[in-house]
Structure 1
Amino acid sequence: MARFYFSLRSPYSWLAYRDLLDRYPGLAEEIEWRPFWEPDDDNLKALDEAGGAFLYTPMSRAKHLYVLQDVRRLAVDRGLSMRWPVDRDPWWEVPHLAYLVADRQGRGRAFVDAAYRARWEHGRDICDPATVAGLGTEIGVDGAELARAARDPAVRAEGVTALLALHRDGVFGVPFFVRGRDRFWGVDRLPAFAAGAGAVGVPREPAHPAVRERATDEGHAGGCG
């Protein structure tokens, strides 16, 4: 099955998510959604012991500053308003392992939508268990269960399995799409991935002037990835 690797941290992954749902809704229903995140030390060790490796390389400061400008431009092109979140001591297991729990209950997509909206439209800290608990309540699942996912040994083991999938598919960044032996990295590769799957995209609506005025990088480095 074709796969979409997404990260709740990454602004490019958020943009690809919006493009996928807005322009290729049928394809979004057909493909498998898999999370990508930077593992903490314990999960990184467990991944290594399982024979896997985390392939992502942190970006330079110059690239980070470029991303701030680039994402703003891409958001404006799509008519999206956004707020840059500020990540203070982030623990990415919190939202991504919560996704695994929500997905088991058939609410994975709903959690992704709520988390992306919280992070990129409202600038909220989705690594805060209290935020994740609220998102769970919002989508109709046990918020407390989602909030404790990062400390649940069984869920953490499931997370290592998800990290191994990243290693096997050679995922070094997001968004990342896989179809057979073909790999597509980046939001601009979504049309090629969709075309190979026979999906016809819905034309993008031009951005409204009011949205163009609201879009801003707010002058600081948020949580890019």
Structure 2
Amino acid sequence: MSPVHPADRKKKHPRWYFSLRSPYSWFAYRDLTEKYPDVLDRIEWIPYWEPDGVSQQLLADVGISLPVRDMHRSKNFYILRDARRWAHARGWKVTWPVDRAPHWEISHLGYLAAEELGKGREYVAAAYRARWHEGRDLAERSVIADIADELGLDRSIADAADDPGLRTKGAQCLVAAYYDDAFGVPFFVNGREAFWGAERVSAFVASVRGEPWDGESDAPFTAEPVAAAPLPAASAPASAFAAE
């Protein structure tokens, strides 16, 4: 696998790095879909996830180590509460998933397989719906197979993590993130400008459209504090990258 040089990345389209795990990526996706579909049509979609041992070795072969580490339990629980506030403020119903044995190649390489078949966007919509509306575990191959069924694709997409070609393609996505200096998701890049976080969607949109940004954030606000609901038990350590 050849590394992607940063100069090559600058020649490409505006892009965003998204994670199927992250609630903040889901928020950004919904804003782009519902408010700025013209921009969503113009940007490159690049998945980012916490690599397993095989992906880590592919990255190590080209001298790359990603800034991924286990997250402190307190920060993990704060993010869950904060994400709930975001959803509540927007009137979105969320069913919180529990990641029993996280293996993010299964869903993200599944996206790459679906994208090759012209169903990448539909796959992302279905995966986010499965995770945040139905509380399903995207590390379960049966869940990805069900998404394939829904999209009229072969259920073998659930086994994308076993495909050496998709493994290489996935590693190239992570290499691109490394050279774009992505350190959290969602992460947006347009030329030399980078934007981090769901509250920077409008700034990225203005940059892509070539318009001045009015300084407004996409972060939702409510008239009064929202009490946090009971949280699901954390069964595995979270990654500091995936949760922003």
Q: TM above 0.5, one fold?
A: yes
1:131 paired with 2:151, answer no
Q: Which residue of 2 aligns with 1:220?
A: 232
Deviation string for 1:118-143 (max 9, x for gaps)?
A: 00111001111111011011012112
1:155 paired with 2:140, answer no
Deviation string for 1:133-163 (max 9, x for gaps)?
A: 110110121122x111011111111111111
Q: Which residue of the other structure, out of 81, 87, 94, is the alignment partner of 2:93? A: 81
More helix by share: 1
Q: Following TM superposition, by how much is the alpha carbon of 1:42 offset from its aligned partner in structure 2, in angstroms? A: 1.4
Distance 1:108 1:216, change over 3 A: farther
How many corresponding residue pairs? 215
Q: Secondary structure at the match of 2:209?
A: coil
* TM-score (normalised: structure 2): 0.82
Q: Which residue of the other structure, out of 179, 188, 203, is the alignment partner of 1:192? A: 203
CA distance in 2, matches of 1:159, 1:50: 14
Q: Is the 8 A contact 1:8 1:116 kept in 2?
A: yes
* TM-score (normalised: structure 1): 0.89
Aligned-CA RMSD value: 2.3
1:183 paired with 2:202, answer no
1:171 paired with 2:182, answer yes
CA distance in 1, matches of 2:49, 2:229: 23
- Range moving further from structure 2, 75-84 or 116-125: 75-84
CA distance in 1, matches of 2:133, 2:188: 24
Q: Following TM superposition, by how much is the alpha carbon of 1:170 offset from its aligned partner in structure 2, in angstroms? A: 1.0
Structure 2 unpaired stretches of 5+: 1-12
Distance 1:71 1:199, change over 3 A: farther
Deviation string for 1:165-204 (max 9, x for gaps)?
A: 1111111110000000111110011111111122889xx9
Give the percent of matched residue pairs that are identical in Structure 1 and Structure 2. 46
1:92 paired with 2:104, answer yes
1:90 maps to a residue whose letter is P
Q: Which residue of 1 aligns with 2:51?
A: 39
